Amino acid sequence: MAAKKTAAKKPGARPPARRQPETLRLREITPSFTASDLQRSIAFYRDVLGFVVGEEWRENGELQGCEMRAGSVAFFISQDDFAKGRDRQKGIGSRLRCTTAQDLDRFAAEVKARGGTLDQEPMDMPWGERQFMITDPDGFKLTFVQVG
């Protein structure tokens, strides 16, 4: 990927006008998963992958969902209400790419030591990245990639 050239900004200079119509400019993305067993999913993300529990959402005192944080990234997990059936498959046709600057091999070894089962061991990809894959208890697929 070619590096973007940036011109030195002059004091008081205005940014160039945006192309019209403007394209979508997101600031973050937060995946939200429904869990068949919320406590099992929280344990997987916290105890196996190393996320920390953030904000919790309760209804009549009962935990309905929570935010799981890892660095600057958050995932939301909520208890499935099973309105679409108890046996429906989740995570089909999608995969989340999670990047980290941490040592991927060490992280994968820690995940396995904490009870995680990798779908794919760490490996170098033809395009130059090193990655491993894992699936959460409900079938949501994650790929961890080591960057810079």
Residue 20 covered by a domain: no
Residue 115 covered by a domain: yes
3-state secondary structure of 39: helix
Per the structure, how many domains does the chain have? 1
Q: Which two tokens stand for residue 138?
A: 């409900």
The per-residue pLDDT for 55 is 97
Residue 22 covered by a domain: no
pLDDT values of the chain reduced to their tens digit, one per residue, 148 residues: 444 455 566 677 887 887 788 888 888 889 999 999 999 999 999 999 999 999 999 999 999 999 999 999 999 999 998 888 788 777 788 899 999 999 999 999 999 999 999 999 999 999 999 999 999 999 999 999 998 7
Residue 18 covered by a domain: no
Residue 13 covered by a domain: no
Question: Terminus-to-terminus CA distance in the chain, angstroms?
Answer: 14
CA distances from 83 to 32, 80, 124 (A): 17, 8, 41
**Is 73 exposed, middle or buried, given 0-12, 13-18 or 19+ CB atoms closer than 10 A?**
middle
Is residue 141 within 8 A of residue 94, CB to CB? The reply is: yes
Residue 132 covered by a domain: yes
Q: Which two tokens stand for residue 12?
A: 């008081």
The per-residue pLDDT for 2 is 46
Residue 99 covered by a domain: yes
CATH code of 120's domain: 3.10.180.10
3-state secondary structure of 89: coil
What are the helix (H) ranges across the chain?
A: 38-43, 104-113
The per-residue pLDDT for 144 is 97
Q: What is the pTM of this model?
A: 0.81
The per-residue pLDDT for 134 is 98
What is the rounded distance in angstroms from the CA atom of residue 108 to the CA atom of residue 118? 8
Residue 41 covered by a domain: yes
Domain encompassing residue 98: 32-81+91-146
